[in-house]
């Protein structure tokens, strides 16, 4: 018997035809004459039956599903071997796989999704309680019978049994797109792995796509690593938020962060159904971003950007102006001191130069002062240790070049043990236009920094105060604008429920007033389309058998007379 032949019998079962064929097995329509039962016979193909690994996997399916009797699991009746090929006799279902049904009819509605996933979770809960992990939950292994109302889990071919997973021999078995991270790694798995697969299936039902597109294992693992929580955008905008949270929890990479048992999923699915019923009872109660929040946020964002741009520009301009004033002050002070020092430096009168330096140090604004000769040797300095040494080179970074050859730098002294911030000036000392030395002046920059800091804090305070006031006013105003919208919403809902006689009695002299008038005209038009009812009191219906008064018969024998009462 070859794989292409249809046998007449397999064991004691009569074969009536082929129900389906896969890469490894054929499913026949069988009949058990001993108990008059129609069933399905799953049999390995000849070339596959000769492979010990596939035979073990096939027997695993029989052992796994054969111990499970549940309304949402395909029932196994018998297992055996005929003509060298093992077979499984199971219940014959009249239905399609979930994948085929979706391909033919499209994705089901959210209530159906909740119901189907709940049935699959119930099957998994039962299997897990008996120590069986399916390891291949996917749409192709879910059989739908009785339309969309009843789901059955099928194909336990790669299931892990309570006594171990000896049939895998270290191999990863399953469908990669639906496998859990631990299953992809070949690590030990438990029922939480099936729950991850259920999460992938639920994601697919809600969005119409799988959470991760790759099918090759290495690329799939890399994609999951880079995007562990893919965007969950449901097909139906009214999908309950609880259902989305269930999906995200099922898809957690860490098994400890997922649901630990399928019955927990079932409990939360009940919450999702209740939320869906609430939303369906009030269709307008779907998740929205209120206009008062959206408008206030937009207005606040525009205002914040405008204020930040304007205040930032003002701050930069003020900083430039204050810095310019400080530079002019320092340069002027340096020129003055250089002129007073020039003659003494030319005469090499070190005592006079040092006296001048000591005198200038009494100025609170002068934090540092040094005089060097033409060779760069320090003649006098506010720091005694610098006398006789070479004047440190002026840093090039951040250096400004001013008039008369003066250079300026905002920083700290190279020879200072502190980090005191100074405005430093290198002023050439000239005598009759000939350079004879250098004056280095350090002016305290803290007043400049304090002024900038004060300005910045004042601007930030003004910005925050303006935002708070404007956003508060916008919130209050938008709430007042939304009040008539709520009136219109309630009126529309009443008309939707058939109350076409409802009218908006609120009088407004603005655009909302026009909107209310248009609504009232619409309601009036709908009322006129309904069958007209008479304004007169209704006439009682004619009684076909009215109450009558029958007078007793007299002695003359005349027929009795009837008088309606």
CATH top class, domain 95-285: mainly alpha
Which helix (H) or strand (E) covers residue 248, if one does?
A: helix 241-250
Please give the backbone phi and psi of residue 200, each rounded to the nearest 5 degrees, phi first.
-65, -45
Strand 9-10: give its sheet, edge to edge: 9-10, 13-21, 25-32, 37-44, 85-91, 76-82
- Domain 310-450 falls under CATH 3.30.450.20: yes
Cα angle value 476/479/485 (rounded, 5°):
160
pLDDT (0 to 100) of residue 557: 40
Tell me if 334 sits within 8 A of 423, measured CB to CB.
no
pLDDT (0 to 100) of residue 551: 44
Q: What is the pLDDT of residues 25-70, one digit of tens each?
A: 888 999 999 899 999 998 888 777 777 777 777 777 677 777 788 9
- Rounded (10°) angle between helices 291-346 and 446-496: 170
Q: What is the pLDDT of residues 236-271, one digit of tens each?
A: 877 888 899 899 989 999 998 888 899 889 988 988
Structure-token match 């190279």, residue found: 414
Tell me if 472 sits within 8 A of 296, measured CB to CB.
no
Structure-token match 């939360």, residue found: 268
pLDDT (0 to 100) of residue 287: 59
pLDDT (0 to 100) of residue 162: 61
Tell me if 368 sits within 8 A of 413, measured CB to CB.
yes
pLDDT (0 to 100) of residue 160: 60
Structure tokens at 260: 């630990």
Structure-token match 């336990």, residue found: 156
SS (H, E, C) 164-194: ECCCCCCCCCCCHHHCCHHHHCCCCCCHHHH
Q: How far is CA 261 from the centre of its chain?
A: 25
Comparing C-alpha atoms, which of 334, 327, 317 is closest to residue 368? Answer: 334
Q: How far is CA 158 from the centre of its chain?
A: 34
Strand 95-97: give its sheet, edge to edge: 95-97, 142-145, 150-153
Q: How far is CA 531 from the centre of its chain?
A: 51
Tell me if 439 sits within 8 A of 424, measured CB to CB.
no
CB atoms within 10 A of CB 437: 25
Please give the backbone phi and psi of residue 274, each rounded to the nearest 5 degrees, phi first.
-65, -40
Positions of the chain with pLDDT under 50: 1-3, 165-169, 533-565
The full length of the chain comes to 565
Could you tell me the residue ranges of all domains in the chain?
9-91, 95-285, 310-450, 464-525
pLDDT (0 to 100) of residue 537: 44
DSSP 548: E
Q: Which CATH architecture has domain 9-91?
A: 2-Layer Sandwich (3.30)
Q: Decide: helix, strand or coil at residue 34.
A: coil
What is the Cα–Cα distance from 419 to 470, expressed in whole angstroms? Answer: 43
Structure tokens at 467: 């935002």
Q: Which residues are catalytic?
A: 136
Identical fold at 95-285 and 310-450?
A: no
- Rounded (10°) angle between helices 350-360 and 291-346: 150
């Amino acid at each position: 018997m070859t794989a292409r032949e249809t046998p007449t019998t397999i064991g004691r079962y009569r074969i009536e035809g082929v129900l389906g064929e896969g890469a490894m097995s054929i499913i026949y329509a069988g009949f058990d004459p001993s108990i008059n039962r129609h069933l399905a016979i799953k049999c390995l193909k000849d070339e596959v039956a000769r492979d010990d690994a596939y035979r073990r996997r096939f027997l695993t399916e029989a052992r796994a599903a054969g111990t499970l009797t549940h309304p949402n699991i395909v029932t196994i009746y018998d297992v055996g071997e005929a003509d060298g090929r093992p077979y499984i006799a199971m219940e014959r279902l009249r239905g399609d796989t979930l994948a085929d049904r979706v391909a033919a009819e499209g994705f089901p509605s959210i209530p159906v999704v909740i119901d189907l996933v709940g049935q699959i979770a119930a099957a998994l809960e039962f299997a897990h309680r008996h120590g069986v992990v399916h390891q291949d939950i996917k749409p192709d292994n879910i059989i739908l019978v009785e339309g969309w109302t009843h789901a059955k889990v099928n194909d336990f071919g790669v299931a892990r049994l309570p006594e171990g997973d000896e049939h895998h021999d270290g191999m990863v078995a399953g469908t990669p797109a639906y496998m859990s991270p631990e299953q992809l790694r070949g690590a030990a798995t438990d029922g939480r792995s099936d729950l991850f697969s259920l999460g992938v299936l639920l994601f697919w039902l809600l969005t119409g796509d799988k959470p991760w597109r790759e099918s090759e294992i290495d690329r799939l693992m890399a994609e999951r690593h880079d995007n562990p929580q893919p965007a969950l955008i449901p097909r139906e905008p009214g999908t309950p938020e609880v259902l989305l949270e269930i999906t995200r929890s099922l898809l957690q990479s860490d098994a400890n962060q997922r649901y630990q048992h399928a019955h927990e999923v079932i409990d939360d699915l009940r919450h999702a159904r209740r939320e869906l019923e609430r939303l369906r009872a009030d269709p307008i109660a779907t998740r929205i971003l209120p206009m008062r929040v959206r408008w206030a946020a937009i207005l606040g964002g525009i205002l914040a950007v405008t204020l930040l741009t304007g205040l930032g520009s003002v701050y930069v301009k003020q900083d430039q102006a204050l810095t310019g004033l400080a530079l002019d002050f320092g340069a002027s002070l340096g020129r003055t001191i250089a002129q007073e020092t020039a003659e003494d430096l030319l005469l090499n009168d070190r005592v006079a130069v040092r006296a001048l330096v000591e005198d200038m140090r009494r100025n609170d604004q002068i934090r540092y002062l040094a005089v060097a000769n033409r060779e760069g040797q320090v003649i006098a300095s506010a720091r005694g240790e610098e006398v006789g040494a070479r004047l440190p080179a002026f840093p090039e970074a951040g250096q400004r070049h001013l008039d008369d050859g003066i250079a300026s730098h905002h920083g700290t002294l190279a020879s200072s043990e502190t980090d005191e911030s100074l405005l430093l000036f290198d002023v050439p000392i000239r005598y009759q236009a000939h350079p004879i030395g250098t004056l280095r002046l350090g002016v305290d920059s803290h007043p400049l920094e304090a002024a900038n800091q004060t300005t910045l804090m004042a601007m930030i305070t003004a910005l925050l105060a303006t935002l708070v006031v404007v956003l508060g006013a916008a919130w209050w105003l938008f709430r007042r604008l939304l009040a008539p919208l709520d009136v219109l919403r309630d009126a529309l809902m009443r008309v939707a429920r058939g109350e076409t006689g409802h009218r908006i009695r609120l009088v407004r002299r603005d655009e909302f007033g026009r909107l209310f008038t248009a609504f009232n005209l619409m309601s009036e038009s709908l009322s006129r389309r309904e069958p007209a009812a008479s304004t007169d009191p209704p006439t009682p219906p004619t009684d076909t058998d009215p109450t009558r008064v029958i007078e007793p018969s007299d002695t003359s024998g005349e027929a009795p007379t009837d008088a309606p009462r």
